[in-house]
Amino acid sequence: MTTAVKKVPSDIAIAQAAKLRPIRDVAAELGLSDDELELYGKYKAKISLRALESRPHTGRLVLVTGINPTPAGEGKSTVTVGVTQALRRLGKNAILAIREPSLGPVFGVKGGAAGGGYAQVVPMEDINLHFTGDFHAIASAHNLLSAMLDAHLHHGNASGLDVRRITWPRTIDMNDRALRNIVVGLGGLSGGPAREERFVIIPGSEIMAILALATGLQDLEARLARIIVGLRGDKTPVRASDLKAQGAMTLLLKDAINPNLVQTLEGGPALVHCGPFGNIAHGCNSVVATKLGLALGDIVLTEAGFGADLGAEKFFDIKCRFAGLKPEAAIIVATVRALKMHGGVKKERLALADPAAVQRGSDNLRRHIRNVKKFGLPAVVALNRFITDTDEEVEVVLALGSAEGVEVVRCDVWEKGGEGGVAVAEALLGLLKTAKGGGGAAFKPLYDEHRPIREKIETIAREIYGAGGVAFAPAAERALELLPKLGLGETPVCMAKTQYSFSDDASQLGAPSGFTLHVRDILPSAGAGFVVALAGDILTMPGLGKSPAAERIRIHPDGTIEGLF
């Protein structure tokens, strides 16, 4: 049995038809003064870090995460926005804190990433495009360091940097596979030394990770100074500070570090700041935006990229550890459609009822529930509704939740906005009311960051992914020996792997167990304060598909935008 739904316009049509509140009014409702705002037109503003100085962080933090994503769609951002809207309908001072979208996915596979249906952040087209210029500032700071590095080589290489051991790439916010591996310096004597080079997409840039974790300008500059650009012949590091680059880089980021304030479709406050990917970076919005939300609101909902095996693990083990955050509950987003795909159903057959496939695919959800509990948090499952869901299929998920001791609540925020998320919001409030000790007292990271890098990787692989072991390639083995000598042995680990599977093989859906995780290299991210373990064939520069979303995006003479779904 299915339930009919009304015809819902496209995301961009809904967003452009919305009547927005002046952002000054949204800010005033939070207790922010005009002196704490930098307006970017009528509906966007940046909030000065001064707003953090005199306000205690008394709000309660909730993470929204999900199962491993599939082409069927899960709607994690949509649920995050919709449940925040629902909490405000229930009279709670709830604030949304999410990441900024990247142009790469917008023009590549998604066509927009600011929620969906009647659970969006607006102005949607601005947020998805150039917004307040944060990504451009990150690109400028990143590529300034690249330019200063090559100028340093051209003018004598006083630092003794080994050009064969340069680790600092260039960056661009676009999916461009041709830039994964290139050669620079082919202009003769005036072009600098010829060398191999590569690009990473901006959400994978270390500058993005640094900006997301920095607590202020002074901390930002100190982190930028620690960036390792490469090694000398004796394998000692050359840092951004050796190139005297950190001051100018900080200047380029002086506005970007301030969180962005926009609003949901229902007029509630939304902090949208920084955008590291969850598969190749740490997948969380900025520390300063989250702390600002905790200072201005009673409940802050934030999301972490992709499934709980990636985004949630990094949120808990990296962001919360660095920032001293104590989350108190989690919402795990799932859909019947995605569970059917994890159960072996092809995308073109998802409209057909198949409770048995839901049962098979539910192993994926079960492991994510158990993983979240390993961090000491209670959880509720938000079952994001699709028109093709049958009662029998939904019952399979409800039974799983009962067996795992979590409530599964149907969610319909895409069609109904905050109204469709009230049941999830009420379940969340119930968790917060009974949270052990309150204030995130039950929260605990997965591992001790002072343990050896190898042990931390093996712990994540075994406890979160379900791996039977880890195989380290020769490059990774060399890194395991070198990184502690660079002062990076006692840091968290940022795992970079496919988002589609618990394993490093994207085709292994569901909940594979006992597999070997293959780590091909481990890279320093000294400014961010962690090391990045590359597993499987994960790429730090995506490519466009055969029919990218960009082909369907246009603007009409009257200003109407088409294709930003």
Q: What is the pLDDT of residues 155-214, one digit of tens each?
A: 999 999 999 999 999 999 999 999 999 999 998 888 888 999 999 999 999 999 999 999
Interval 294-319 mean pLDDT: 96
Tens digit of pLDDT for each residue in 214-272? 999 999 999 999 999 999 999 999 999 999 999 999 999 999 999 999 999 999 999 99
Lowest mean pLDDT among 352-361, 376-385, 394-403, 545-554: 545-554
What is the pTM (predicted TM-score) of this model?
Answer: 0.94
The residues that bridge with 199 in the sheet, in sequence order, are 170
Q: Residue 2 has what pLDDT?
A: 46
* Topology at the third CATH level for domain 134-252: Domain 2, N(10)-formyltetrahydrofolate synthetase (3.30.1510)
Interval 448-475 mean pLDDT: 98
Distance, CA of 438 to CA of 327 (rounded, Å): 10
Computed on alpha carbons and rounded to an integer, the radius of gyration of the chain in Å comes to 23
Residue 113 has pLDDT above 90, yes or no: no
* Topology at the third CATH level for domain 453-535: Formyltetrahydrofolate synthetase; domain 3 (3.10.410)
Residues of the chain with CATH 3.10.410.10: 453-535
Distance, CA of 492 to CA of 258 (rounded, Å): 25
Interval 76-93 mean pLDDT: 97
117 touches 414 (CB < 8 A): yes
Give CA separation, 357 vs 369, 499, 524, 556, in Å: 19, 21, 42, 43
Interval 98-121 mean pLDDT: 87
The residue ranges of DSSP E strands in 72-227, in sequence order, are 94-98, 115-116, 119-122, 161-166, 170-172, 182-184, 195-197, 199-201
Q: Does domain 11-131+256-434 have CATH number 3.40.50.300?
A: yes
Residues of the chain with CATH 3.30.1510.10: 134-252
The residues that bridge with 519 in the sheet, in sequence order, are 472, 535
Residue 284 has pLDDT above 50, yes or no: yes
Residue 7 has pLDDT above 80, yes or no: no
Distance, CA of 85 to CA of 420 (rounded, Å): 9
Tens digit of pLDDT for each residue in 11-63? 888 988 999 999 999 999 999 999 999 999 999 999 999 999 989 989 999 99
The residue ranges of DSSP E strands in 157-308, in sequence order, are 161-166, 170-172, 182-184, 195-197, 199-201, 228-232, 237-239, 260-264, 269-272, 299-303
